[in-house]
Amino acid sequence: MPSVVASRETRDARKIVGVNAETVTNVTSTDFPGHYPGEDHEWDVEEFKNNLTVQFHKLHPHDASFSLIGIDASIANAFRRILLAEIPTLAIEYVFVHNNTSIVQDEVLAHRLGLIPLTGNPAGLRWLRQYRKPTDEDPEGTGVADNNTIVMKLQIECTKADNFDELIKKGEDDPTKIYKNAHVYAKDLEFVLSGRQSMFFDGEANAVRSVHPDILLAKMRPGQCINMEMHCVKGVGADHAKFSPVATASYRLLPTINITKPILGSDARKFARCFPKGVIGLEEVSAEEAGKEGSGYEGHEGEKKAVVKNTFKDTVSRECLRHPEFEGKVKLGRVRDHFIFMVESTGQYPSDEMFLESVKILKEKCATMKRGLSNILR
């Protein structure tokens, strides 16, 4: 039976998820993404390369936005889940409390320490191996070594300022001025080099440290002190949220707005107000449009008409569908294979590098699955 070739209109319609006043249509995918009965959808790597597009909209060290175009939702969601839970990062895992006379309880302070995002020389962080805890099946684990454990210390004591009496006489009551070390910050954590770590983490610029040095850990008063040793290990967000390299990683589908009938004058201005600023613009009806029979603009030369400017900014609130004057004049939707990602890094990886890391991990997963299938077929 010869295969059917779908028309351009049919292919374009398949890409749009319809957004109506009370329903969402065309949401289901096929059993095999991109495959339809009676049509030839043989895999072609060159065609896939031509259809796949990556566009960066915003790129900052801790914040990035980019579009992935031409892939199925299952692949986009795989990247999102890997970003959240499978990229290994460094975090404080063990806290040994030698002395803590602050008002913050040991377990609360240990929890706060564990949530501090850490960074250091990227090459050194990649060199580190994941520490494997002892279990019933493996009583020894990997053991503590210089290539799987980073040691940090916190030794700090609160004392009166040298000119304490003078400040008090002046009526000063700011604890950060009348006391030394009244506030304990993440920058007070001290990195301790060990063994081969000096190849990667030597020097202030390469040392393991907090991404945000001014994270407040505790407040103290004279006579109180904290003395702790911390062991940092690599882990993944699937084990604990402190290992997640992102504050959030999400995506949305690109909105579409199709004005099917002319919207003019005051209706056009009202229509523009139904959307975020910059989505809908107002333009004058040209003489050519007004003179074209069947255009809907006959006799409206010079009047303002609503035109779509930038759907990227739209939030798909459906506000325009609430108003009867726009009924039958606009169709809303989303592009099924255009995913707009928002990634906020906690700082251990630059936001753009994290996506590349997620690609590497997905590639490794595919290779593992391929080897497993090969073993089954032997």
Give the 3-state secondary structure of residue 86.
coil
pLDDT higher than 70, residue 1:
no
Specify the pLDDT at position 99: 96
Specify the pLDDT at position 190: 96
Distance CA(354)–CA(284), nearest Å, equals: 46
pLDDT higher than 80, residue 35:
no
Specify the pLDDT at position 36: 79
Range 135-141 average pLDDT: 81
Distance CA(237)–CA(361), nearest Å, equals: 14
pLDDT higher than 90, residue 259:
yes
How does the average pLDDT of the chain come out, rounded? 91
User: Between 87 and 8, where is the model more confident?
Assistant: 87
Give the 3-state secondary structure of residue 268.
helix
Specify the pLDDT at position 2: 62
Specify the pLDDT at position 191: 96
Strands, DSSP E only, in the chain? 16-19, 24-25, 53-60, 63-69, 89-100, 118-119, 150-157, 159-160, 179-180, 183-185, 190-192, 209-210, 216-219, 225-235, 246-259, 280-284, 304-308, 330-345
Give the long-range contacts of residues 297-305, CB within 8 A, separation 24 or more.
Answer: 297/262, 297/264, 300/262, 300/264, 303/264, 303/265, 304/264, 304/265, 304/268, 304/269, 305/262, 305/263, 305/264, 305/268
Specify the pLDDT at position 52: 92
Q: For the whole model, what pTM was predicted?
A: 0.86
Range 275-279 average pLDDT: 95
pLDDT in tens, 317-375: 999 999 999 999 999 999 999 999 999 999 888 888 889 999 999 999 999 999 999 98
Paired sense of beta strands 150-157 and 225-235, if any: antiparallel
Find the distance separating the first CA and the last CA of the chain, reported in whole Å: 34
Split at pLDDT 50, 70, 90, the class of 291 is: confident
pLDDT higher than 70, residue 59:
yes
pLDDT higher than 80, residue 30:
no
